[in-house]
Structure 1
Amino acid sequence: MTAIDAHQLLLDMYAGAVAAVSAEKCLPPFLPEPPVNGRTLVIGAGKGAAAMAQTVERHWQGDMSGLVVTRYGHGAACQRIEVVEAAHPVPDEAGRRAAARMMDMVRNLSADDLVLCLISGGGSALLTMPAPGTTLEQKQALNKALLKSGATISEMNCVRKHISAIKGGNLALACAPARVVTLLISDVPGDDPGVIASGPTLPDPTTCEDALAILRKYAIDIPDNVREHLASGKGETPKPGDPRFARNEHHVVATAQQALEAAAQVARAAGVTPYILSDEMEGQARDVGLVHAALARQAALRNQPFAKPCVLLSGGETTVTVRGTGRGGRNAEFLLSFAAAMNGLGGVHAIACDTDGIDGSEDNAGAIYDPESLTRAQQLGLNAASMLDNNDGYGFFSALGDLVVTGPTRTNVNDFRAILVL
């Protein structure tokens, strides 16, 4: 077998994974037929919403108009669909205004009209409409607390649904009696469409009591008016079986599994056997890093349970409970934990990146590791364990020059990890 450039192969697998879940590749086969008599309104939210809107414009046969909201820097040039940029992961006034405009646009539609809703990860923060009696400032504070708590994406979005006037199916109710077709790029483990971006057009099986239980679990304090909103049931969402959803449909058009399978193809072409561990891994990033390190060590030292050369692939969404003051990102945290556990063992290389090109709220997609990473760090006076304690994975890999910086990819199926054992 020819010599493998480990660094380049890892980058190629990541690039292949991202390309496989682009809107242009995945969305067109799911476009519905234009309505015969009514008009088409395109709405949406998420880090991939602008690219999805651009793809719809390229392939749609007929008239349309609409509005989508995406993260700052994630826009795309559209002619008929307006693109608004707003803040993520903590919502801002631009996102609130965009949500209000969207709700106004969908009111007073007829049964002949079609609403095409384009949803991708990040939509929860971008499409923000405080429930009656609550404020944007309260939502911002709660989002910050949830992000630091270590709560899973499903838990965070359960809470978000019940303090929102647009999430958890409420946007679809505003569209009635128009038919709503929702196309989703999934960033959530398990690909539950009702969890992606807090399911603005999908019925919601979770309850206000579920939201309160999550807040108690993570000891998150909330203002009295928010607590009363939840405890009274005022924040309850429309449930499965509600007849107002009967004409609607949804399709998950891109998933983490598709991205992992594309990366596996890149590995095979290079003569490396791929093993997809899971597309829905969750848990603390540092703990997931330790598990991956244990598997890599077993393969490197014993050829078990995977024979070299091989690559271990995984997706999902890890979490970080923030206790330090460093610049983190869950992929950098995963990789720093992995690096410390590998302790320079030869023949093992790794990459961990977010498929949206942004690791948490930083400017990098993630980072890359090689067997010399710890030695190079020590030469710079860096201590991996202490930097991990300070949630400073970004600082560690930045000092080594090993951050992966791609800019926004305009898609999002969450974490991508590849552990190459040669």
Structure 2
Amino acid sequence: MAEGGPIKVLIVDDIPETCDYLSKLLHFERDIQVVGTANSGKESISRTRELRPDVVLMDINMPDMDGITATEQIIELGLGTQVVIMSVQGEQDYLRRAMLAGASDFLVKPFSGDELANSIRQVYKRRPRVREGPAEQVPEARAERAPGRIISVFSPKGGVGRTTLTVNLAVALKLDQPERRVAIMDGNLLFGDVGVFLNLPQEKTISDLVARFDQLDAGLLADVMVTHSSGVKVLKAPLKPQQGEMVTAEHVRAILELMREEFDYIFVDTWSSLEERILAILDLSDRIVLVTTPEMPALKNVLLFLAVADLLRYPPGKVLLVANRADMRHGIPIAEVSRSLRFEVAATISNDGQAVTNSINREVPLVQAEPGNPVSKGIRALAKQLVFSLGVAEAEEAAAREKKGLVGRLRKVS
């Protein structure tokens, strides 16, 4: 049972029979209570004000106001209500629009009662809460926690905003899910700037781990990492390039594997190279955020990298192409970018050079300094999209393991 009683749910669909069906699916869930229904986007807003549900199940296609617009307006009410979008379309564009609007999850119809109930419980856990003090929640026991997910941010072209995205993605995820353990590793070992972007003290760096590599463990890692005001833990790059040269691919692999045990999400900044240490990072990554801008030199290099990723046999879905500064003046249209690369653009980030530069110079991530800025909204949507895609992958892996285990048991019986 959720704290304070069952999770209150409002169901929104323009077909009354669908509302009834979803209510019946949830009827036997003791920790979930359907407090009402609405048959239009406009009605969902007034019903949210009236009922103050914890979670809204929102259909995406409705005649008077679509679910995306209704979601935006519900989030703007500031009631802490979480929204789960439901749609028969599962394309990336629908997912991107839903997350940009502020939705916390996206369910593709048809779905089972278990999938629906689990989604409600998960987004309820992530709802904003009033905190009495700065103390963090007690983390789950390590044995009960799944291995952390590594998300590298890479571009074969410099100057496309890679570090800006790394820092802001990590902080956005931590702010959205404060109970999660989020870390950044500055993998730009020669000229890393993550510490500057986050105004972190010039203290210990990854070089301190390398110097005591034979003693590498969770305690040493915790001692070397620095905590940002958002709660994100940071492993800084070496202070001098010559120190960075001493960090090997073996070091990188071992440190990332240890971080995977200690954190839920690890964001890794990189640099424009395919040398051994970068390939070690990319190989270990669960997702590679491949950053480009809508300019010909950047697209040319992205095309070359995609060919390398194919040679490395990276699985479908591992690489997410992100167009930064997507609406820049005289930039190549995003639809043309996808056609030219023959690779779908998974997300777009707006262009606001002045706001981004100001946030960098102030050493405050834009998602903290200006949460309402279109760039911040795009980054938060991308962070949610990454978490969602990794959650789907985790569920698929678990199902595959369960199926494999069942087959093994049946073989033993036979």
Common topology (TM > 0.5): no
- Provide TM-score, normalisation by structure 2: 0.30
Would you tell me which structure has more helix in proportion to its own residues? 2
Structure of greater relative contact order (alpha carbons < 8 Å, 6+ residues apart): 1
